[in-house]
Structures are given as C-alpha cells and as structure tokens.
Amino acid sequence: MMTDRLVDVGGYALHARVQGSGPAVVLDGGGAGQGLGTWGPVPEGLAEFATVVTYDRAGVGRSGGTQAGSVVDMADDLRRLLRALDLDLPAVLVGWSYGGLVTQVYAARHPEDVAGLVLVDPTAAGTPPGSAVVRSSSFVLAAWLLRARAALGGRNARPLRELAVTLRGMPDAMAETARIREEHGLPPVPVRVITAGRRPRMPRAQLEHLTADHEALAALSPRGRVLVAEHASHQVPHDQPEVVLDAVGEVLRG
C-alpha cells in the first residue's frame, strides 16, 4: 500500500509518501531534495520488508515553504515530518549525496531517533582542497548556469532553479555538517557508507578528500563500514540499487 500526503510541519506542508510495512526506513534524496520519484527502484524494493518514507524538502517539488538556509533547518524539518507521520522510531536513515549531509546532522543532533545510517555516495563534509576563491567561484558559476538554463523554460525549469539554490549554499552546508559532526559525533549504530566505484575524472586531491571523508564517516561508529558499488556512478540507486537494498537490510538486522 502506498499513500501520498501533504504534512503540516509548522506553517507549511511537506509532500511525503509512505509505503510498505515493517521497521521504519527514511530516504533523503540528493540534489535540491526532490525525494519522490528520484530513487529509482529502491523504495519499492525496501517496501517489501520495511515502512518506507520518501519526501520533498521544503520549497522543493510539491512541498510548501522555502528552501532552507541551513542543514540544521532541513534536519529539523525532517524530524517534524516523522513525528507528524507518527512513525515508529527509531528509524534507519538513508541519505544520498546532499541527503547524506542532512541525515548526518539529524543523527548527530537526535541520536535517539536513529537505528542506523546508510549514506549513499554522500557529499563530503568540510573544506575541499584547493583555492577558496576558485572553489567559491565555481559554485557561484554553476548556480548561475543552472538559473540561465531554467530561464529558457521547459518542464525542468523549476528543478533547475531549486538545484541552483542548493549549489549556491553548498560550501556553507559542507562546513556546517563538518562542524556538527565534530561537536556531536554520530550515534553508535550500524553505519554503511556506500561509495561509487565509477568516478568521473577529477583532481587527485579532490578524490582523496572524498575518499577520506567516506572512511572517516564509517569510522565514527564502532559498527561502521565502507561498501564500494563497483559498477555504479554517483547514481548508485539507479546503477546498483541492490547495493542500497542489501546495506539497509544488513543495518536492520544489525
């Protein structure tokens, strides 16, 4: 059974979908936070043994409000959503890409809600290597290009504008997540960090930074482990969904 709901989280509503039955598993999507319809076959596969929640973040997709200015705001929105859904907590949180930042902050601030973490090729926290000026300029330029493409119209115009907002705030989000992780750590629950096995060409220092962050994430839990999706690009839920399904099942059993 699948139900879609607009759930009031305090002045605006988030669009959420609940399906399946069993222990709770919450999916937080990448990019701008459009969770519904972006996970490929993963939600349906998980629904065979879990109650699965997917949602769009504030200001994205069919959700109301405006796009949050901080990762803490996004995590707090998710917490209000799960309580409004009367979900049986603690839950396994699954964060893909930027969603990995949101779920880390949620787990660090509200460990009592979290039974386990599966981080799917998560965005690296902290400060990437290289020039701060070049790094900041690249995010500004990427956001500008997305807005320019959105100005041409078409059905992807709104998602492009939403993604532009996310990219513009990416350096702050990465720094915020690193700070909260350092202050609070992660709860001692099972943690699986899935890293993509097929990377696009990138500077060696950048790749080493990403790899080191994934390893550091797993090391924050005594029950943490890095898994490599050998045949997947960053689009792990589409390229190798079975790796996500297996990791969630393993965490639930743990």
What domains sit in the chain, N to C, each tagged with a CATH number? 2-127+173-253 (3.40.50.1820)
With cut-offs at 50, 70 and 90, classify the pLDDT of residue 153.
confident
Between residues 156 and 7, the one the model is more confident about: 7
Q: Which residues pair with 34 in a beta bridge?
A: 56
Cα angle, residue 57 at apex, residues 56 and 62 outer, rounded to 5°: 50
With cut-offs at 50, 70 and 90, classify the pLDDT of residue 132.
low
Whether 43 has a pLDDT exceeding 70, the answer reads yes
Centroid of chain to Cα 252: 19
Residue 26 phi, psi (nearest 5):
-115, 125
With cut-offs at 50, 70 and 90, classify the pLDDT of residue 209.
very high
Q: State how far the Cα of 231 lies from the Cα of 165, in Å rounded to an integer.
A: 31
CB-CB contact of 4 with 15 (8 Å)? yes
Write the single-letter amino acid at 59.
G
CB atoms < 10 A from the CB of 227, how many?
20
Q: State how far the Cα of 53 lies from the Cα of 80, in Å rounded to an integer.
A: 13
Whether 180 has a pLDDT exceeding 70, the answer reads yes
